Amino acid sequence: MSAQGFIPPHGNYRELLSYQKSEVIYDITFRFCHKYLSKGDRTVDQMIQAARSGKQNIAEGSKASGTSKETELKLTNVARASLEELLDDYEDFLRVRDFKRWDKNSKEALYIRKLGSESPQTYETYRTYIETRAPEVIANIAICLIHQANYLLDQQIRRLEKDFLAQGGLRERMTRARLNARNKPPPPPP
């Protein structure tokens, strides 16, 4: 437990690679949907909301983590589920149009994975490709990024589980802090 108290530092979600990738996915999806899907198509709202949910739930979970590991874990899992839904939408886009989906070991997918290792991750990393390529390519880029974000979120969820088992939740930290304060020897008389 820190000298600052029983609420650990929290909320630094912008530093999380999972958040950075999710933000890029949202930016790509927003542009993709408005450019390549029909206005009024319910899929536009669904995809944008799934991308937004991925990003926002990471942020919200991170901010809640100081007082509720349960909420952090739930919201991180919601982010993961939202990105999985978005993945299905991009795969549907390719399938129903008879577009090719990249094999995970294709030279294109490997190139996007290499770009994905740069830090920090921002839309600028991919802007040239998103703004100059065909929708088939953009959808495949988004799929690659979603797989990367999902992998990171899976790792994050496992880490949250491990941390909870090792450190407990807020009530346990509060009890330990109270017991430590109670068992502290009184200061010597002046």
User: Residue ranges of the domains in the chain?
Assistant: 13-113+137-174
pLDDT tens for the 190 residues of the chain, in order: 444 565 555 558 899 999 999 999 999 999 999 999 998 899 999 999 999 999 999 999 988 876 677 888 999 999 999 999 999 999 999 999 999 999 999 999 999 999 988 888 999 999 999 999 999 999 999 999 999 999 999 999 999 888 777 776 656 665 666 667 778 887 788 7
Tokens 């982010």 belong to 79
CA atoms within 13 A on the CB side of 87: 17
Q: What is the pTM of this model?
A: 0.83
Question: For residue 173, how far is the Cα from the chain centroid?
Answer: 27
Give Rg (Cα) of the chain: 21
Record the tokens describing residue 44, joined without a space: 């536009």
Range 13-113+137-174: architecture per CATH? Up-down Bundle (1.20)
The amino acid sitting at 127 is R
